[in-house]
A = this chain, B = another copy of it.
C-alpha cells in the first residue's frame, strides 16, 4: 500500500475479534472489559458506571454470557450487605485469561500487518 497512500504512516490495520456461538456472541472486547471491571469493583452497577454503560446493558451482557457458558462466569447476589454484588467465578476468571491471550495475539497480528502496509 505504501505507494497508494499519501502518508502511509498515518494508516494502520485495525480490527475486532470475538467468540461467536451458534445463536449469540459469547465474548468480545467489550464483554471482556466488563468482566474485568466486575472483578475490580465487585458489582455490575459499579462496573457499568466505570465503563459509562447503562446498568441494564451490562446486566444483559452478563446474562448472555452466563446462559451460554456451561457454568456462569459471574455470580450475583441480590440484597444483603451493601445491597448485593457480583464477582467472577473461576470459569469467569478463566474466560478472562483465555480471551486476553487471544486479544494479545490479535494485537500482534495487527501490528505486524500494519508494518507490512508501509513496505
Q: How far is the CB of A89 from chain B (nearest CB, A)?
A: 10
Q: How far is the CB of A6 from chain B (nearest CB, A)?
A: 5
Q: How far is the CB of A33 from chain B (nearest CB, A)?
A: 17
Segment from A44-52, A56-64, A76-84, A109-117 that makes contact with B:
A109-117
Give this chain's copy count: 2
Contact A6 B70 (CB under 8 A): yes
Q: Mostly helix, strand, loop or mixed at chain A's interface?
A: mixed
For A, the interface residue count at a CB cutoff of 8 angstroms equals: 37
Contact B19 A117 (CB under 8 A): yes
CB-CB < 8 A to A21: which residues of B? 5, 10-11
Chain A residues near B (Cβ < 8 Å): 1, 3-7, 10-22, 26, 68-71, 73, 91, 94-95, 98, 102, 105-106, 109-110, 113, 116-117
Identify the 3 closest CB pairs spanning chains A and B, nearest first: A15-B17, A14-B20, A10-B22
